[in-house]
């Protein structure tokens, strides 16, 4: 992994376009800004997936705004993952970004597959065949479950960044 690839933030957005987790990895980072970036990127994602013959998960560079380049990824179950990388002049290899996305996806999958998530879940959430992503939202009152998810996401970011400046 090239060391220059810097993840500023990652956002997980549910199939219904509600935020699941927005995590920033910048010291004193403006959380709100990355919320906005994640939200606006949904537009570009919808535009991309509406194109005929598009059947990839990786959606490529969505846009670059201010000092970040926003990349998008959508899983077959329509979970959207948006990564904001620090803007760079050098070529960012798609393969590297795909790797990051897959790692984040795996982190999500591992967290949502936790059978104990459903123990105290509301009947609406647990009745679904696919566990509701709402189980992992930050609004979830049971913060313990979210913590594990956050930790996994941070682990991915840390391994990409190669150092320990993740906010605990």
Residues that bind other proteins (CB under 8 A): 2-5, 14, 16-19, 22, 31-32, 35-36, 39-40, 42-44, 46-48, 51, 54, 56, 58-66, 69, 85, 87-97, 119-125, 127, 132, 134-135, 137, 139-142
Q: Which one, 45 or 166, has the nearer CB to other proteins?
A: 45
Tokens 């959430």: give the residue: 125
Residue 77, C-beta contacts closer than 8 angstroms, at least 6 positions apart: 15, 130
Q: How far is the CB of 58 from other proteins (least distance, A)?
A: 6
Q: How far is the CB of 133 from other proteins (least distance, A)?
A: 9
Q: Which one, 77 or 127, has the nearer CB to other proteins?
A: 127
Q: How far is the CB of 139 from other proteins (least distance, A)?
A: 5
Q: Which one, 67 or 155, has the nearer CB to other proteins?
A: 67
CA distances from 34 to 39, 126, 131 (A): 8, 30, 26
Q: How far is the CB of 165 from other proteins (least distance, A)?
A: 19
Helices 143-161/94-112 angle, 10° precision = 160
Q: Is 50 exposed, middle or buried (0-12, 13-18, 19+ CB in 10 A)?
A: exposed
Q: Which one, 2 or 155, has the nearer CB to other proteins?
A: 2
Instruction: Decide if 6 contacts 87 (C-beta within 8 A).
Output: no
């Amino acid at each position: 992994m090239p060391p220059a690839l810097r993840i500023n933030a990652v956002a997980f957005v549910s199939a219904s376009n509600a935020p699941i987790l927005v995590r920033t990895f910048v010291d004193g980072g403006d959380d709100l800004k990355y919320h906005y970036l994640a939200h606006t990127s949904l537009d570009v994602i919808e535009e991309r997936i509406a194109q005929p013959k598009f059947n990839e998960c990786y959606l490529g560079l969505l846009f670059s705004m201010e000092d970040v380049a926003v990349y998008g990824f959508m899983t077959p179950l329509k979970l959207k993952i948006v990564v904001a990388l620090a803007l760079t002049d050098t070529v960012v290899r798609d393969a590297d970004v795909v790797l990051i996305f897959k790692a984040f996806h795996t982190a999500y999958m591992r967290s949502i597959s936790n059978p104990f998530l459903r123990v105290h879940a509301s009947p609406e959430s647990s009745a679904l065949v696919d566990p509701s992503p709402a189980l992992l939202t930050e609004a979830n009152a049971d913060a313990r479950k979210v913590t594990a998810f956050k930790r996994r996401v941070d682990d991915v970011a840390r391994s990409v960044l190669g150092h320990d400046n993740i906010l605990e």
